[in-house]
Structure 1
């Protein structure tokens, strides 16, 4: 049996950990967006929607700052979310 390269093993570990972190940020972001959309759908109070929107925007910005999503995608998601929330 041939021994694996140490650096290759380390890269596998690093990519696995990075993937887990990225998935966590993305899941947090998607759940926050879903909460806003659900609140708009059920016609919650505007204060509740504003609070959820604030949390969702923070989650989107966090994902963009960590490099999970592109900054343009973050801007697009925030824009569309605000458009739905204000309607």
Structure 2
């Protein structure tokens, strides 16, 4: 339990930061889920649009310190590859 004024303030700040980061992670997961669903449906235009919308959210997660840079780079790369695979058979 926090005793000093400083430690009490840090505890409050920690709770606030946790709530904000949790909301950010949830938002990012939602965008990723939309891309996954578009890929699964086989709709190339929806998949492209979903990926286009998800990329800035992932980048924002990196800049805010919620996700690691390389993790996001890997996710973007793999998603882009899968979206491109959805396009290829249709062409």
TM-score by length of 1: 0.90
Cα separation, 1, equivalents of 2:53 and 2:5: 42
Higher helix share: 2
Q: List runs of 5+ in structure 2 lacking aligned partners.
A: 86-91
- Structure with the greater relative contact order (CA < 8 A, sep ≥ 6): 1 or 2? 1
Cα separation, 2, equivalents of 1:27 and 1:80: 20
3-state SS of paired residue (1:82): helix
Cα separation, 2, equivalents of 1:62 and 1:24: 13
TM-score by length of 2: 0.86
Aligned residues: 84
Q: Deviations over 1:25-51 (max 9, x none)?
A: 11111110110110110112x222111
Cα separation, 1, equivalents of 2:19 and 2:60: 15
